[in-house]
Amino acid sequence: MTTAVTSEPQTREATRSPWLMLAMATIGFAVNFWAWALISPLGPLFRATGSIGTLSESDVALLVAVPVVVGSLGRIIVGGLTDRYGGRVMFPIVSGVTIIPILFIAFVALNSYALLLFGGFFLGVAGTAFAVGVPFVNGWFPPEKRGLAIGIFGAGMGGTAISALTTVKLTEQLGAKTPFLITAAVLAGYAFAAWLIMRDAPGRVVPTTSLTSRILANARLPITWQAGLLYAVAFGGYVAFSVYLPAYLKAAHGLIPADAANRMAGFVLIAVIMRPVGGWLADKLGAIPVLATGFGVVVVCAGISAGTPPLRGIGTLAFLAMAAALGSGSGATFALIAKVTDPSRVGGVTGLVGAAGGLGGFVPPLIMGYVYGRTDSYAIGLWMLSITAALALLLTVTVVRRTATQGQEAR
């Protein structure tokens, strides 16, 4: 692939602190993920109040899923654009463009299911911020620190928790437009600050081939599909549990909604904390041992959970252990990509792998709901998770290990 070193003067970039750039990227990721998750907490509220008509569970699921799917698939294109134009340009663009559907929803769509779907489609742009941040952060850090740095950036996925904790409360206390207007204002402030403060890493290599050709070339790399499968299990599992865990806890363990939501928040917090830890461990021990250990923990704990043990004790420990394993696995996956992928292609590979992770989180809740509807039990779904993690473990210690060794030798 033909590349060219950027001709932009490097004096200003060289004066920037890598840790400042990491902080700005992490804030941008969190803010955009906050926006990406605005509709999800409101789905049950829309159904309960009937403000946009009578909705079925399928209607609510579609409303929540549209931004997730668009944001996941959009990472493929945005990752390639980030390789070409850099994070300093793409972070303000993604943040600024996201403001448009937010304002559309606030002022036009809140009384119409069809218009909410339309606005939610374009709100998916916010979910592509992940594919901007990974190559941006990767360029600022040496190989031995990239796992930790990208893991810290990945903790910005906690932005979804901001939405979960604030959207419904703001809607009920200050009106339906309020959470959207606040988020739009925060995004505008961040886009302005990012343009002033952020700089791409000195010596960034700019690809000169077309976006389509780079996407196709990146898709043919072994690390792309291998990391995509691992991330679909690790991050997809995190997304699935963060979405579906309250429903599971209410149905399987009889918890009240508030208690179920609190336990879900604990699951999310553990996973978010463990993501940078997983990246750091990958720097120190290698990504393969961290991934293998994480998937092994999921195999065991999902099997334990399939037996519906009491939450006071082993039941809670099993879910928290899975949260830690899935979070660390997500961080280790991108540490692996950073170590074996040419820097000029990290954005494109990240986009494809990130898309796989987002879509991986979309499928399990559908399976769990379908299985429960047919059997009144979540055991089959949890055993399927255990088997899937076992297959990911086998892939990690065989094919992925070989690819990692060959890639590091080539680098």
The CATH number given to whatever domain includes residue 89 is 1.20.1250.20
pLDDT for 390 equals 96
Q: Which of 217, 247, 278 is the last residue of a domain?
A: 217
Average the pLDDT over 317-326 and give the result: 92
Confidence bin at 9 (pLDDT 50/70/90): very low
Distance of alpha carbon 9 from alpha carbon 13, whole angstroms: 8
Clarify whether residues 179 and 193 are in a common domain: yes
Q: Are 282 and 363 in contact (CB under 8 A)?
A: no
The pLDDT, as a whole number, for residue 409 is 66
CA Rg, the chain, in Å?
21
The pLDDT, as a whole number, for residue 13 is 53
Q: Please, what is the average pLDDT of the chain?
A: 85
pLDDT score of 59: 77
Query: What pLDDT score was predicted for residue 57?
Result: 63
Say yes or no: 237 and 365 in one domain. Answer: yes
Q: Specify whether 99 is located in the same domain as 115.
A: yes
Say yes or no to pLDDT of 297 above 90: yes
Same domain, 16 and 55: yes
Range picked from 144-153, 291-300, 373-382 for highest mean pLDDT: 291-300
- pTM of the model as a whole: 0.79
226 in the same domain as 153: no
Which letter does DSSP use for residue 365 in this model? H
DSSP letters for 231-256: HHHHHHHHHHHHHHHHHHHHHHH---
Q: Which two tokens stand for residue 230?
A: 């691992």
The structural domain count of the chain equals 2
Q: Are residues 13 and 127 in the same domain?
A: yes
Same structural domain, 107 and 149: yes
pLDDT: which is higher, 172 or 244: 172
Q: Are residues 241 and 206 in the same domain?
A: no
Distance CA(314)–CA(256), nearest Å, equals 20
Question: In angstroms, rounded to a whole number, what is the distance separating the alpha carbons of residues 200 and 23?
Answer: 14
- Residue 15 pLDDT > 70: no
Domain termination site, one of 217, 245, 274? 217
Boundary of a domain, candidates 187, 217, 247: 217
pLDDT > 70: percent of the chain? 91
For residues 241 and 203, membership in a common domain is answered with no
Over residues 26-74, the pLDDT tens digits come to 999 999 999 998 887 787 777 777 667 677 766 777 787 788 888 888 9
Mean pLDDT value of segment 244-256:
75
Q: What mean pLDDT is predicted for residues 109-121?
A: 90
Find the domain containing 178 and state its range: 1-217
Q: Give residue 7's pLDDT band: very low, low, confident or very high (50, 70, 90).
A: very low
Same structural domain for residues 229 and 352? yes
pLDDT attached to residue 342: 82
| One domain for residues 52 and 139 | yes
The token pair that represents 135 in the structure block: 């190559």
* Residues 191 and 263 grouped into a single domain: no
